Structure 1
Amino acid sequence: MTKEELIPKLKNIIAPYVQDEEAFKNLNEDTDFVKDLKINSANLVDIILDIEDEFDIRLENEDMEQMLDVKSAMEIINSKLES
């Protein structure tokens, strides 16, 4: 899935949990979920569950630990979709 297809889907998933609206408006590959969007760890788990549902994939613990920014989320989603 291309970046252009993936980022809007991720934005829809992340939107309910964002604490920094300004950073969310400028969301890109380098956006960090915790540092930039001020998403807490409990909500990060919710996002991961939402990603699993949206893309019909299963994320392992090590995937979740690495999913700290938009770029890593896209890489993990794409690798799961390919396998």
Structure 2
Amino acid sequence: MVDNDERLARLKEIVKTYLPEDVPIEAVEEESNFVTELNINSAHLVDIILDLEDTFGIRLENEDMDKMQTVRDALNIIDLKLLDKK
């Protein structure tokens, strides 16, 4: 099982690709909102979802995407999906 720090590091690595130039990777914290704080647009949010599915070997549904407002939300959803796989 991947621990929370490793999941956060993997998530940051994915998000880094989609951050606008004016948002540094250091700004990505668990409380960060993808849209309002990290300025990630909805198209890139979909890309992040697809990358998360590939990276963690999980399947995210539309309702998961709707709930994924912050980095912590994403981590919680990843946790739940990984538990469901067991």
TM over 0.5: yes
Identical amino acids, percent of aligned pairs: 48
Residues 32-80 of structure 1, C-alpha deviations (whole Å, 9 max, x = no match): 1111110000000000000000000000110011111101000000000
- Preserved contact between residue 33 and residue 69 of structure 2 (Cα < 8 Å): yes
Cα deviation, residue 3, structure 1 = 2.3
1:73 partner letter: A
TM-score (norm 1): 0.91
Equivalents in 1 of 2:55, 2:74: separation in Å? Answer: 13
- Which residue is equivalent to 2:77? 76
Equivalents in 1 of 2:67, 2:58: separation in Å? Answer: 16
What CA RMSD, in Å, does the superposition of the two structures yield over aligned residues? 1.1
1:48 and 2:49 are equivalent in the alignment: yes
**SS in structure 2 at match of 1:37:** coil
- Preserved contact between residue 27 and residue 38 of structure 2 (Cα < 8 Å): no
- Which residue is equivalent to 2:23? 21
Structure 1's consecutive aligned runs of 4 or more residues displaced over 6 angstroms after TM superposition are none
Equivalents in 2 of 1:27, 1:39: separation in Å? Answer: 11
TM-score (norm 2): 0.88
Equivalents in 2 of 1:80, 1:25: separation in Å? Answer: 26
